[in-house]
Amino acid sequence: MSQHLSNGYLAQLATEFGTPLYVYHAEKIKEQYAKLTTAFRNSNTVFFYACKALTNINILKYICSIGANVDCSSINEVKLALHAGFPSSRILYTSNGIAFSEIEEAVELGVIINVDSLSNLEKFGVKYGHSYPVGLRLRPNIMAGGNLKISTGHDKSKFGIPVDQIDRILELVSKYNIRISDLHIHTGSEIKDVEVFVKGIEVLFGLIPHFKHLEFIDLGGGFKVPYKDGDVSTDIDLLAEKVNESFAEHAIPGGKPLQVWFEPGKFLVSECGYLITQVNVMKETASTTFVSVNSGFNHLIRPMFYDSYHHIVNISNPEGAEKKYAVVGNICETDTFAWDRPLNEVREGDFLAFYNAGAYGFEMSSNFNSRYKPAEVLVLDGKAHLIRKRDQFEDLLRNQIEVL
């Protein structure tokens, strides 16, 4: 687990911009991207940032500027990516159970598309035949990922077309002469074990000979990042080695080398982000000392939703004596961030920084309890830029129509 922005600097930002505050460190994103491109330097591999993790337009622009492509999960993400300056050839739209009209819109915008159902594949064939290439999101029936909520490739998952329906896929491809350019799988998030990717490649290699127009295979995202000291992350160098080995062992039909694509979300932006909160209230009870911060699962849902661990640092008192606390939010529902957590002595008014808050932090936030969403700050070249204002009262009424 690495920290790039110092406690003192984070505390200064908290004072300057107020809390709760999301802070992102651009250079950390660049460093993570460089780890990927360095590891895969000897292979024909392209990385698409899974922007569902964090879509602030400045983050998208920055990621575009460092050379990564972008993977989208809604037509609006596609439009944000275009707005950020990605050309359509660098935008991938991996769809899930979407209305066909969204696929039509994506074709009009000229982006790369993966379809994930026989139903949309057939509609695609009827409308576009061979005229527009399309990828297939497949369900490889592999169990992977940090927990069931973020496992997407197993045999009960809604995602992708099950590989056991290959005959039906081939019938449609042949009936409408569909140009399949890519086979895609994404088996889950927080995959530590690189063998999972190898297994996925094995499944795809069994299918590749059926498709004459393939240009790439897409192995999705899901690289694990460290959340606490001693935590392992996906060994990217080993992954690169294994991917190269697998490709060397399998002859590609027609001898045409296939490009390999990945769609990392967390790997690029998890560690760049911090959520800084301020302690409202200390509450001593017979069993527990509660620290109530000015945030909750309305701002960072991961601990309550996935039981995720986020490292927490008392950046106002980093030398204080360690004690154990329950860190909770201030919304009217149980919203425990951490239980029995050793922290440097906490006092009312202290700033607590939550690590690994870049991915699926702000992005999954809400206005629950009619609280404001936090502001966001981007630190780039040593300078802090406000990249989203904190909500204001009018934002809570925006789009509401007062009929009474």
Compose the 16-35 pattern: x for residues touching ligand LLP by CB under 6 A, - for all others.
--------------------
Distance between start and end Cα atoms, the chain: 53
Q: Based on CB atoms, which residue is closest to ligand LLP, 293 or 359?
A: 359
How far apart are alpha carbons 386 and 379 in whole angstroms?
9
Which residue is closest to ligand LLP by CB?
265
Q: Based on CB atoms, which residue is closest to ligand LLP, 243 or 315?
A: 243
Residue 264 in contact with ligand LLP, rule: CB under 6 A? yes
Q: Which residues of 28-61 are buried (b: 16+ CB within 10 A; e: fewer)?
A: bbbebbebbeebbeeeebbbbbbbbbbbbebbbb
Residue 221 in contact with ligand LLP, rule: CB under 6 A? yes
Q: Based on CB atoms, which residue is closest to ligand LLP, 19 or 32?
A: 32
Q: Based on CB atoms, which residue is closest to ligand LLP, 116 or 376?
A: 116
Q: Based on CB atoms, which residue is closest to ligand LLP, 109 or 304?
A: 304
Residue 306 in contact with ligand LLP, rule: CB under 6 A? yes
Scanning 4-12, 21-29, 196-204, 214-222 for contacts with ligand LLP by CB under 6 A, the matching segment is 214-222
DSSP line for 334-370: --EEEEEEEEE---TT-EEEESS-TTTTGGG---GGG
Per DSSP, the three-state class of 312 is strand
Query: Which residues inside 161-180 make contact with ligand LLP, applying CB under 6 A?
Result: none
* CB of 32 closer than 8 Å to CB of 268: yes
Scanning 15-23, 218-226, 281-289, 386-394 for contacts with ligand LLP by CB under 6 A, the matching segment is 218-226
How far apart are alpha carbons 103 and 106 in whole angstroms?
5
**SS (HEC) of 181-250:** EEEECCCECCECCCHHHHHHHHHHHHHHHHCCCCCEEECCCCECCCCCCCCCCCCHHHHHHHHHHHHHHC
Scanning 100-108, 121-129, 215-223, 373-381 for contacts with ligand LLP by CB under 6 A, the matching segment is 215-223
With CB under 6 A as the contact rule, the residue among 28, 123, 186, 341 that binds ligand LLP is: 186
Per DSSP, the three-state class of 15 is helix
Catalytic residues: 332
Residue 387 in contact with ligand LLP, rule: CB under 6 A? no
Partner residues linked to 138 by β-bridges: 161
- Residue 267, by phi and psi: left (phi above 0), alpha (psi -120 to 50) or beta? alpha
Residue 220 in contact with ligand LLP, rule: CB under 6 A? yes
Partner residues linked to 218 by β-bridges: 184, 261
Residue 263 in contact with ligand LLP, rule: CB under 6 A? yes
Scanning 22-30, 120-128, 265-273, 313-321 for contacts with ligand LLP by CB under 6 A, the matching segment is 265-273
Q: Based on CB atoms, which residue is closest to ligand LLP, 200 or 315?
A: 200
Residue 150 in contact with ligand LLP, rule: CB under 6 A? yes
Residue 168 burial by Cβ neighbours in a 10 Å radius (0-12, 13-18, 19+): middle
Q: Which helix (H) or strand (E) holds 93?
A: strand 91-94
Total number of residues binding ligand LLP (CB under 6 A)?
20
Residue 53 in contact with ligand LLP, rule: CB under 6 A? yes
With CB under 6 A as the contact rule, the residue among 125, 135, 200, 265 that binds ligand LLP is: 265
- Where does this chain bind ligand LLP (CB under 6 A)? 50, 53, 71, 94, 150, 186, 189, 220-223, 263-267, 302, 306, 359-360
